[in-house]
Amino acid sequence: MTGARPALKSRLRLMGIAISLGAASMLASMPASARGPDGIADIAEKVIDSVVNISTSQSVEAKGGRETMPQLPPGSPFEEFFDDFFKNRRGGLPKGGDKSGEMQPPRKTNSLGSGFIVDAAGVVVTNNHVIADADEINLIMNDGTKIKAELVGVDKKTDIAVLKFKPVKPVTAVKFGDSDKLRLGEWVIAIGNPFSLGGSVTAGIVSARNRDISQGPYDSYIQTDASINRGNSGGPLFNLEGEVVGVNTLIISPTGGSIGLGFAVPSKTVAAVVDQLRQFGELRRGWLGVRIQQVTEEIAESLNIKPARGALVAGIDDKGPAKPAGIEPGDVVVKFDGKDVKDPKDLSRVVADTAVGKEVDVVIIRKGNEETRKVTLGRLEDTEKVQQAAAKTKEDPVEKPVTQKALGLDLAALSKDLRTKYKIKESVKGVIITGVDGSSDAADKRLSAGDVIVEVAQEAVASAADIKKRVDQLKKDGKKSVLLLVSNGEGELRFVAVGVQ
């Protein structure tokens, strides 16, 4: 969900609703729980002055769009018409500019969102996307007072931003509640600035917790059916104690309006982010130094893990804290600092939330046995690596490689010519895939020519014969799949379970 839309145009229609006396008496006899808790009005009255509307402005280049002069062929019969239209509508073309409108001066755009006061000294929490790229940020209090705000810091990964302002008169702050204590079906209240209509109160229930909708690396949203619309972004989600249990962030909707699928960042996450942004102006997240992937049913069967759970370590950063602790590729992390790890998202979240420099116990499963490793966490650098894969050029090898088939794969020893052809680093060891049967399970698992098989069933391989021998043995043992450790040309590893039957 984006920030906020401009105010609704005044095209409202009144609709009459006829209710029979019988229906009216039935509604009057309905229990209070069917209408919602009686305390909503009291809570709204108590906290609404702590909720603010956020107005931002930004300068953007006036290129393209409806106001751009269309490119027309010289002598076109429409050229004079469009020339007159644009001159009359916009007061003439810019001096020195052409009819494309490319030299139009920047124009101001405005957007609206929501936020809430967490410190009476003048601290506001909102969404990052509400204030992103803004040249000016203003807070509009519930009584209409407008105050300029400054940015303290943002965290793009959780979409949280912290602002500060100087109160012109005493203001009231709200407190964070414990989002971990929320129960499914519990009543919650959303307050914000939908469609720039000002402080609006809606109520609903907690529809789901720990919802992952693939918006970021630490997704764990509260899902609610309380009406959330454009402009509610950054506003608070309250429990019935008047505590903030979430920050309303986005909706899923085919129409752009509320259909009862709203999502809020839980207060446990928000409170930790806000503390760090206020203290450091940035996030300092814990770092384990591993690359992880999902433990599928096939991988779990290959590793003798029942039931399938945890985060499979696919690679280790040479400079990360996991390496000196003895964690290796193929290990499955099932518990971190006393917290169960059900999947890779769990591990990512709990590591990020753990203090930099803290020594923690990491429980792993290695070859069917549980082991505990002590790791001192490092700091995750908030810089995104931009990796541009070089286009593979087709070069004919000097000599045709000797290949052998297994698992629907054409396999060959890593020669100098093959390393050059597929751009394989010297540090990568194993057996290279030179072809894949399109109807095989290996193709379904996205194995491709240029991938290098490093291990089969957690044992290193040096030749295609090694792979075929081990696959044949697994078939005799009645295994349904074989676990391959596969590297790309850069040395990045991943585990793939491929059917053997």
**How open is the CA angle 338-343-345, to the nearest 5 degrees?**
90
Count of alpha carbons within 13 Å of 24, Cβ hemisphere only? 5
- Distances from the Cα of 107 to the Cαs of 59, 79, 92, in angstroms? 5, 26, 16
Q: Are 333 and 351 in contact (CB under 8 A)?
A: no
Task: Give the torsion sign (CA, 172, 178, 179, 185).
Answer: negative
Distance CA(482)–CA(397), nearest Å, equals: 31
| Catalytic hit among 159, 331, 346, 466 | 159
Q: Does the bond joining 307 to the residue before it have cis omega, within 30 degrees of 0?
A: yes
351: buried, middle or exposed (CB in 10 Å: 19+, 13-18, 0-12)? Answer: buried
Q: What are the phi and psi torsion angles at 396 (to 5°)? A: -75, 125
Distance CA(145)–CA(125), nearest Å, equals: 18
3-state class (DSSP) for residue 486: strand
User: How does strand 359-366 pair with strand 339-340?
Assistant: unpaired
Would residue 225 show up in a list of annotated catalytic residues for this protein? Answer: no
E strands within 355-397? 359-366, 369-376, 378-379
| Catalytic hit among 55, 111, 114, 129 | 129
Would residue 463 show up in a list of annotated catalytic residues for this protein? Answer: no
Q: Which long-range contacts (CB under 8 A, 24 or more apart) does 374-377 make?
A: 374/325, 375/288, 375/321, 375/322, 375/325, 375/327, 376/321, 376/325, 377/286, 377/287, 377/288, 377/321, 377/351
Distance CA(341)–CA(354), nearest Å, equals: 14
Neighbours of 383 (CB within 10 A): 6
Residue 11 DSSP one-character state? -
| Catalytic hit among 111, 114, 227, 233 | 233
- Distances from the Cα of 206 to the Cαs of 42, 239, 421, in angstroms? 20, 10, 55
- Distances from the Cα of 390 to the Cαs of 393, 394, 424, in angstroms? 9, 12, 12
* DSSP per residue, 416-470: HHHHHHHT--TT--SEEEEEE-TTSHHHHTT--TT-EEEEETTEE--SHHHHHHH
Q: Are 153 and 282 in contact (CB under 8 A)?
A: yes
Would residue 267 show up in a list of annotated catalytic residues for this protein? Answer: no
Distance CA(101)–CA(494), nearest Å, equals: 51
Q: Are 470 and 482 in contact (CB under 8 A)?
A: yes
What residues are labeled active site?
A: 129, 159, 233
